[in-house]
Amino acid sequence: MDYASSETTVMPLDLLREITNDFSEERRIGSGSYGKVYLGVHQHGKRIAVKILYDMPGIDDEQFQNEFNNLTRLRQQNIVRLVGYCHNIQEVQVEYKAKLVLAEKTHRALCLEYMSNGSLDKYLSDECDRYDWQTGYGIIKGICQGLKYLHNELKPPVYHLDLKPANVLLDENMVARIADFGMSRLFRDEKTRATNSSLGTIGYLPPEYICNNLISDKFDIFSLGVVIIKIMAGHAGYFNSANMSSQEFSNVVQLIWTNRLLETSNLRKAYSEQIIKDDDLEELRELSSIDYKMVCHDGHEGSIATVTEYMVNGSLRTALWKNSKSLGRHKRLIIAMDAAFGMEYLHHKNIVHFDLKSDNLHVNLTDPLRPICKQIIGYVCTSFYLKSMPWIAFQKIGD
């Protein structure tokens, strides 16, 4: 999108009332310390977010002017774009000392592009069906690009000073846009500044601000770190991370995303079982000791690819190498029994594997009590030279 050609327009108060159903509760999509946000829908279907600032004498004009001035300067794909504004003064009758008198009421609104997927905050709860790893990485990258623009590409730079998941909005493609610049500040020559203002949100404030009221670009970077941890581990994972070593936290994050990958894999399995109807694949489905997923034919020479159940720890050889200290005799016995049961099943079907080795046994060690080991069924080979030497029976070597 070409943001350089965008123009900010004046939006009449009557028009804002019309497109938000008179600022009805049904159209309210958010709220904050300084105002409420409503969904505005034009007659031709275009949607915008209308932020109505609270009427708070003493700080309202400053708040409105600060956010308006900063937003009009911002033109970058990871920053929410300002599309219009309203500053309307009306005379209204109010009761004063038991009499009706005329008073001025100021309506201030900022109209922003509408982000259909809402704020990042709602995707961080454990109850929410969240995004995949690639989308999460894209969100982190988008926030970083937005901050790089604010800190390094603007002259003078802008410091947001209230970066948190609620102020990161997501468009229809889950692209991150930084929003809510009500607390933002312009920094000219100085790199650090002392302030008496109340800034940011508890949990996202750096120690130099908490202890000494100092603000700099490091304020946003600290907040960014908190946001990244919550994207990776969720709210619960973030709070538990304070009592973990870096390695323990890495293990927790890996487990979280591994489980999510497995859940996705199970959904794909259910879907593939519903749509595959090829009778010619019944034998392959029956013989596989790993849950069957999908078979794909491709190319003019009729090549075939099988997609099978994902075993999170990969081959038994790799798992033994990486987890040798944590695999006690009990777990090793269970793995050996799984392999034996798999061979018993194949031999009952009069099938000889011909290439059984630790690379062709895959394991899932995520259950601390019950590891799982399953065999990978490859193509049946008859040539001696295609086998793996250390695993060949001595009678075959002697033939």
By annotation, the residues acting in catalysis are 162
Q: Which pair of tokens denotes residue 17?
A: 């009332």
Distance CA 1, CA 23 (A): 29
Distance CA 45, CA 161 (A): 34
d(CA 39, CA 114) in angstroms, rounded, equals 8
In whole angstroms, how far apart are CA 154 and each of 40, 79, 151, 157, 186?
A: 30, 13, 6, 5, 10
DSSP 8-state symbol, 243:
T
Rounded-to-integer distance, Cα 303 and Cα 193, Å? 66
Q: Which residue's structure tokens are 């159940």?
A: 309
**How much of the chain is helix, strand and coil, in % rounded to 5?**
40, 25, 35
Measure the CA–CA gap between 122 and 231, rounded to whole angstroms: 11
Angle between helical axes of 133-148 and 246-275 (0-180°, round to 10): 130
